[in-house]
Amino acid sequence: MFKILVLGVLRLGLNADYDRIQELANQHRTIRQFLGHGDGYDEERYGLQRLRDNLRLFTLEILLHHQVAQQRTDEKVAIAITRETKARYMPGVAGKRPM
C-alpha cells in the first residue's frame, strides 16, 4: 500500500506517464530505497501493467481527500493537547470558556 502511495504521488506530482514511473521505480536508486529495496538493486521489478493496474486507482481526488482528513486529524490532536495541557498546568482555567 505504501509503495502505491509513493509511486502515485510521484505520478501525480511529476505529471508523468506510466513508462516514466516504471523507469523511476526500477532504476532510480533513491526511489528504490524509499520503496524499501535497500542499498543495492534487488531483483524486484515493477512491470508496466502492474503499475497501470494499481496506480490508475490513485487519483488526485483521493490524495486531496487524504490531505483534508489528515489536516482535520491534526487539528483534533492539537485541540486535545491544548485541553490536556490546560487541565494539567492551569486547572482553574481548563473548564471555563472565555466571555
Q: For 45-93, what is each residue's pLDDT tens digit? A: 889 999 999 888 777 777 776 666 667 776 777 777 777 777 777 766 5
The verdict on 46 and 63 lying in the same domain is: no
The verdict on 78 and 38 lying in the same domain is: no
- pTM value surpassing 0.85: no
Domain that includes residue 49, residue range? 1-58
Residue given cell 486507482 in the structure block: 57
In-domain check, residue 99: no
The verdict on 4 and 49 lying in the same domain is: yes
pLDDT at 49: 93
The verdict on 71 and 50 lying in the same domain is: no
Rounded to the nearest integer, the mean pLDDT of the chain is 79
Residue 96 in this model has a pLDDT that exceeds 60: no
Burial 69-82 (b: 16+ CB within 10 A, else e): eeeeeeeeeeeeee
